[in-house]
Structure 1
Amino acid sequence: MDKEEIILNKTREVLNKMGWLNKYKMEQMLSDYQSSEVHTIECISKGEFVNVTKIAQSLYMTRSAASKIAKKLLDKKLIERYQRTENKKEVYFRLTEKGREVNEIHENLHKEFLARDKVVFDEITEEQLAGFLAFIQRYSKHLDEEIKREGREIT
């Protein structure tokens, strides 16, 4: 196996383990919501003037998929639409009180998972962190360029 396969396989293995370990608690605490809905709520909570395009770009999905999720969230009264006075054409989303509650549960679960895994992250040296981040940033940039080259940018 070459280094590319080793890195990708080990990364996938770690992410799958993390997902499997977190899944039970996430499903237990957020049983009424799909993962895509919760992550869309998170996206809206962290952004300013979030619309369908911003959701699609942030979550690497099509605008059509983002629009469908937004409709579900609107129907469940987790988000609401609004328009800015200076731009009546564009529709934006913000969380309702119910949406903020779901987001808070999600954030608290992430904090719990980070606390669980803190022992590993406490051991990483600054040099290891710098090398890891440099690699991830370089690989991410390469993937961005490939997405652009294939004409698959989300607009």
Structure 2
Amino acid sequence: MNKKEQVIVGFRDLFNKMVWLNKFKMEDRLRGYKPSEVHCIEYIERNVDSNVTKLAESLYMTTGAISKITKKLIKKGLIESYQKPDNKKEIYFRLTEQGKVIDKIHEELHKEFEERDKAVFEQVTEEQFDSMLSFMEKYSRHLDAEIKKQGIDFNSE
């Protein structure tokens, strides 16, 4: 296996291990909520005037899938929709108090995981961080271009 393959496999392994390790606590503390719902809640809390299109683009999902999720979240009382006085066409979302509770639990879990992994990150130098970030940005731009080239549109179903 060459270094390129090692990097790809390494990223996949790291991601899968993190998901597996975090999964049990996430499922326990956020029982009754799907990961996609929790990620919608997180995005809405951190981004003003969140709408279906912005959520779809951010979470790499179709607008149809996001519409279903937001309807469920409204029904569960976690988010509410609103419109701006100057734009009655566009529908935006914000968290309810109950939604903020779920977001806080999710945020606390991430802090707990960050604390668990702190020992590794404390050993990484600024130059190493810069190098990793540079690589991830280049690779991400490449994948964005490939997505665009293939005509993948997250605004359709």
- Counterparts of 1:75-90 in structure 2 under 5 Å? 75-90=75-90
Secondary structure of 2:151 counterpart: coil
How far is 1:91 from its partner? 0.4
Q: Aligned-residue CA RMSD in angstroms? A: 0.8
* Aligned-partner Cα distance in 1 for 2:7–2:61: 25
* TM alignment of 1:27-42, pairs within 5 A: 27-42=27-42
Question: What is the aligned partner in structure 2 of residue 123 from structure 1?
Answer: 123
Tell me the secondary structure at the aligned position of residue 82 of structure 2. strand
SS in 2 for 1:92: strand
TM norm structure 2: 0.96
Q: How big is the shift at 1:143?
A: 0.3
TM-score by length of 1: 0.97
Q: Measure the CA separation in 2 of the matches of 1:105 and 1:70.
A: 19
Unaligned runs of 5+ in 2: none
User: How far apart are the structure 2 equivalents of 1:144 and 1:14?
Assistant: 22
The 1-side partners of 2:79 and 2:27 are apart by 21
CA offset digits 1:47-99 (Å, max 9, x no partner)? 11100001101101111111111011011010001000111110000000000
The count of aligned residue pairs is 155
Q: 1:147 aligns to what?
A: 147
2:154 is paired with a residue whose SS is coil
Identity %: 55
CA distance in structure 2 between the partners assigned to 1:9 and 1:154 by the alignment: 27
| Shift of residue 32, structure 1, vs aligned partner | 1.2
**Aligned-partner residue type, residue 113 of structure 2:** F
CA distance in 2, matches of 1:97, 1:87: 25
What's the CA shift string for 1:91-145, capped at 9, x where partnerless? 0000000000000000000001001101111110011111101100000000000
Deviant stretches of 4+, over 3 Å: none
Find the aligned partners of 1:61 and 1:144 in 2 and give their Cα distance: 14
Amino acid at match of 2:103: N
Separation (CA, whole Å) in 2 of partners of 1:34 and 1:154: 20
